Amino acid sequence: DQFRLLNYEHTNEMLKKFRNSFGLKSFRPQQFEAVNAALLGLNVFILMPTGGGKSLCYQLPAVISKGVTFVVSPLKSLIIDQVQKLNALGLNACHMLSDVDSSDFDQIYQELVKQESKYKLVYITPEKLNNSNKLRNVILNLYNRGMISRLVIDEAHCVSQWGHDFRTDYKKMGELRSTLMPNVPCMLLTATATPRVRNDILMQMKLRISEESSYTSGNENRLESKLSNRVYLPLIPSSNQLPPNNQKCVFFMQSFNRENLQYKVEYKTSNSAALEKISELIKSRFQNKSGIVYCISRNECEQVSEYLKKNGIRALPYHAGMDDKTRHDTQYKWTNSNECKVVCATIAFGMGIDKPDVCFVIHLSLPKSLEGFYQESGRAGRDGRKALCLLFYNNQDRQKWLRIISTEYNNRNPSAYETHVENIRRIAQYCDNRIDCRRAQILEYFGEIFDRRKCIESKMNTICDNWVQKVCHNEDFTIAHLADILKGFQNSKIIEKCHNSLDMHSKLSDLKKNDIERLIRRLIFMGYLKEELKILKHSDTVASYIRLGPNASKILNNSTIKIQFELIDDSQKKNELKNTQVISIRDSDDSDIEEIVNENEAIKTSKKKTNSELSEILTRCKTELNRLIKSIGTEKNLENINTIFTKKMTK
């Protein structure tokens, strides 16, 4: 394909900047082709999932092209983060946000009208472009001198009235481009656009895509246009679907599938119950790990943050009601320090922030669209590691959104009202669906057909809650197999049946298998479990399988039981007591054992002591390395040091 060639005039310089300026060694899928298309002066439409590397597709062409690249972006925090990252790399970029001093504005304007401006990228909001006559005059000056290399529309779904974050000023981008810079190449980028939204974006921007100029990465998932017969419009609009005078555009698309994300939906009985589960989840699975809890309102952000702090979790709120400095400080603490591990935020938080090690994204309340949920949950796992995307849902949240939408749109904008109501219906349908694979539901919504078997085959072990229940429903568990799961074994039977994806897997990894079997038998004696005997087919052998016992409802009804029993230490004399353990059992996703609390610390062997000492040395080394990196960041005045020293580099 023409965009994979290495013999263009720009190739050598492009690869040199890629390695030396951006410090990268390999392109992600579709990046190389998109960069080549941009440097050939073509209009480009890029559809990549969150974390797919969209920014490089315009930043790399910008630094080697003659003139200025204007980037239209929706959020101040996103713009500031991008500009700081580029400047930290030694690349000249600036922004023109409302909080910039008038003297700084004048300095930027003066620089732009020079014969050759030092700025290669200028970030602006759509509101600034629409409302500033001075900025438009500068753009016309640059255009008349042939000094605009490209117009970039980031978060292009905002252009469409069908997009989940439609902005009126974004819709004017097509007209402004025609007026201010009609022949300047355009690049559109988004992570969330259904086929219908893609069509509308192209229509608004006066662009069209021919079938032969569209490129998709990978062949594992089919990109299906036949869905137009049911719900969606065609995936790639052909030339007869858009006005013939529209400019041609090259289309690049990655699969929407984020293999390392595990999707779960849990019914919310109340906010307080959900908060208790969130707190326990973070402390048990994500201690000292970074994550986001998305909330439906500013007040909820504050309340959730306060609750988590009271439970020993370093959390801070983030919402539009806070002043810029407070929001900036929160973002900095979450990104660069240990002062904040969890941000409790409204949906604006996290867009474009370069933080790869987000281990979980939790929605305490229903998001306002499936696109929004996909984008927000996609802020987890950018480092490629397994991450959890948990959504709490009840019908009250749906009703709350419908009231908000009715108040804002019903009388003033009936079309927008209908769009938002449909978006709420879609996300509620996703939550209510307890049968179909959640990953497949999301991908099909974006026009991509996904083979559900790939969830089971994946080495990432991220099958969703629906698929786990479907796989494991009514399966027969022996005491030995159940003990293997609780111990955390990864034998062939466990992997084949996906039992390593169950929440109870590894829950009792600190115990010996025979002690776990003793505990299971104790639960049987107490009536919480029971044995069911079955005669195996084609055999006279009788097998014993575990079922819920008559007293199981005491656990399922959120009660907690404690069972005390003694363990034997093999390193001591036979029958000598090692310690006493108290097992606390309560309901979880799988109604299984959730936590163990040691009453007395076990006597450690010399091997354990050695491992502990090595662990302490490693921790001190990491602490000292992070301190050194932060001091370098302070010296170089870098707000986000992770853009230079990534978490992956320091591990």
Residue ending a domain, among 236, 253, 270, is: 253
Tell me how crowded residue 554 is: count the other CB atoms within 10 A of its CB. 17
Same domain? 391 vs 520: no
Same domain? 333 vs 239: no
State the pairing for strand pair 561-568/44-47.
unpaired
pLDDT, tens digit (0-9, with 9 covering 90-100), for 115-126: 889 999 999 999
Same domain? 428 vs 496: no
Domain range for 555: 475-598
Same domain? 304 vs 344: yes
Confidence of residue 161 (pLDDT cuts 50, 70, 90): confident
Please give the tally of structural domains in the chain.
4
Q: Is residue 603 part of a domain?
A: no
Instruction: Give the residue-averaged pLDDT of 492-518.
Output: 80
Q: Is residue 207 part of a domain?
A: yes
Least confident of 447-451, 547-551, 615-619: 615-619
Which residues on adjacent β-strands are paired with residue 186? 151
DSSP 38: H
For residue 630, give the 3-state DSSP assignment: helix
pLDDT at 75: 82
pLDDT, tens digit (0-9, with 9 covering 90-100), for 364-389: 999 989 999 998 999 999 888 999 99
Which residues on adjacent β-strands are paired with residue 69? 121, 150
Same domain? 488 vs 454: no
Confidence of residue 592 (pLDDT cuts 50, 70, 90): very low
Same domain? 612 vs 594: no
Same domain? 147 vs 288: no
Tokens for 433? 């669906």
Contact 113, 141 (CB under 8 A): yes
For residue 358, give the nearest of 374, 334, 333, 391 by alpha carbon.
334
Same domain? 192 vs 78: yes
Altogether, the residues listed in the chain come to a count of 651
Tokens for 456? 């089971």
pLDDT at 341 over 90: yes
Rounded CA gap, 392 and 342, in Å? 17
CATH number of the domain that 87 lies in? 3.40.50.300
DSSP 234: P
Residue ending a domain, among 224, 253, 282, is: 253
Same domain? 189 vs 298: no
Q: Is residue 72 part of a domain?
A: yes
State which amino acid sits at residue 142.
L
Tokens for 523? 């639960």
Region for 244 from its dihedrals, namely left if φ exceeds 0, alpha if ψ lies in -120 to 50, beta otherwise: alpha
State the burial class of residue 644 (Cβ atoms within 10 Å of its Cβ: 0-12, 13-18, 19+): middle
Q: Is residue 174 part of a domain?
A: yes
CATH number of the domain that 577 lies in? 1.10.10.10
pLDDT at 576: 47
Identify the residue with better confidence: 350 or 120. Answer: 120
Instruction: Give the residue-averaged pLDDT of 271-294.
Output: 93
Rounded CA gap, 295 and 302, in Å? 9
Which residues on adjacent β-strands are paired with residue 360? 291, 388
String of DSSP letters for 467-509:
HHHHHHTT----HHHHHHHHHT---HHHHHTTGGGSTTTTTTT
Rounded CA gap, 356 and 209, in Å? 33
Least confident of 40-54, 142-156, 241-255, 578-592: 578-592
Rounded CA gap, 166 and 160, in Å? 6
- Helix locations, 344-413, DSSP H: 370-377, 395-409
For residue 361, give the 3-state DSSP assignment: strand
Kindly provide the b/e burial profile for residues 1-11, where b requires at least 16 CB atoms within 10 angstroms of the residue's own CB. eebeeeeeebe
Integer angstrom CA distances of residue 297 from 319, 343, 366:
8, 14, 11
Rounded CA gap, 37 and 44, in Å? 7
Contact 47, 190 (CB under 8 A): yes
pLDDT at 257 over 60: yes
State the burial class of residue 615 (Cβ atoms within 10 Å of its Cβ: 0-12, 13-18, 19+): exposed
Integer angstrom CA distances of residue 130 from 82, 123, 200, 634:
22, 14, 20, 36
Q: Is residue 395 part of a domain?
A: yes
Instruction: Give the residue-averaged pLDDT of 409-434.
Output: 87
Confidence of residue 579 (pLDDT cuts 50, 70, 90): low
For residue 454, give the 3-state DSSP assignment: helix
Same domain? 406 vs 497: no
pTM exceeding 0.85: no
Integer angstrom CA distances of residue 279 from 129, 271, 582:
44, 12, 21
For residue 425, give the 3-state DSSP assignment: helix
Share of the chain above pLDDT 90, in %: 38
Q: In what order do the strands lie in the sheet with 577-585?
A: 561-568, 577-585, 595-598
Rounded CA gap, 574 and 338, in Å? 46
Contact 585, 593 (CB under 8 A): yes
Rounded CA gap, 271 and 299, in Å? 13
Same domain? 638 vs 575: no
Which residue bears the tokens 């656009």? 193
State the burial class of residue 548 (Cβ atoms within 10 Å of its Cβ: 0-12, 13-18, 19+): middle
Rounded CA gap, 38 and 14, in Å? 12
CA angle 94, 97, 100 (to 5 degrees): 85
Tokens for 236? 């790639």
Helix (H) or strand (E) holding 131: helix 126-131
State the burial class of residue 219 (Cβ atoms within 10 Å of its Cβ: 0-12, 13-18, 19+): exposed
Residue ending a domain, among 223, 253, 283, is: 253
- Helix locations, 145-230, DSSP H: 168-171, 173-180, 195-205
pLDDT at 594: 37
Same domain? 316 vs 392: yes
